[in-house]
Amino acid sequence: MTHRFGLRVYYEDTDLAGIVYYANYLKFIERARSEWVRELGVDQAAMKRDDGVVFAVRRVEADYHAPARYDDELVVETGVETVTGARLVLTQSVQRNGEVLFSATVTIVAIGESGAPARLPAAFRRNLH
């Protein structure tokens, strides 16, 4: 299952040359992950309140392939690579007209209120399939 999230590059996303500033790709993929989780039917605020669990990014392995520019329409694709009891590995890419501009492998972990690793809530794991 691949999730697609569309966005447009605004002036605030770019540097003086009108090219997307490298760190903003991380913001783009974060927005896409948040929307993906929402579309899975997971209320992260309720998950924190009811289960005491939140998601945290543990690792990002990223590659920059080509620049995005001011006013480009982009699509972020998110796919599940691996799911374990407490960890989720996702692949994400930022594309313009099917051309991959940025790609990343993102490891998400579940953590409890103390910051220690926790199991991914069963309801969340069920929604992945």
| pLDDT exceeds cutoff 90 at 124 | no
Domain chopping of the chain, boundaries: 2-127
Q: Please identify every residue annotated as catalytic.
A: 15
pLDDT digits (tens, 9 = 90+) for 81-116: 999 988 999 999 999 999 999 999 999 999 998 989
DSSP one-letter string for 29-69: HHHHHHHHHHHTT--HHHHHHHH--EEEEEEEEEEE-S--B
| pLDDT exceeds cutoff 80 at 129 | no
pLDDT digits (tens, 9 = 90+) for 13-39: 999 999 999 999 999 999 999 999 999
**CATH number of the 2-127 domain:** 3.10.129.10
* Average pLDDT in the chain: 94
Closest C-alpha among 80, 87, 78, 79 to residue 120: 87
Is-contact 101 73, C-beta < 8 A? Answer: no
Q: What 8-state DSSP symbol labels residue 85?
A: S
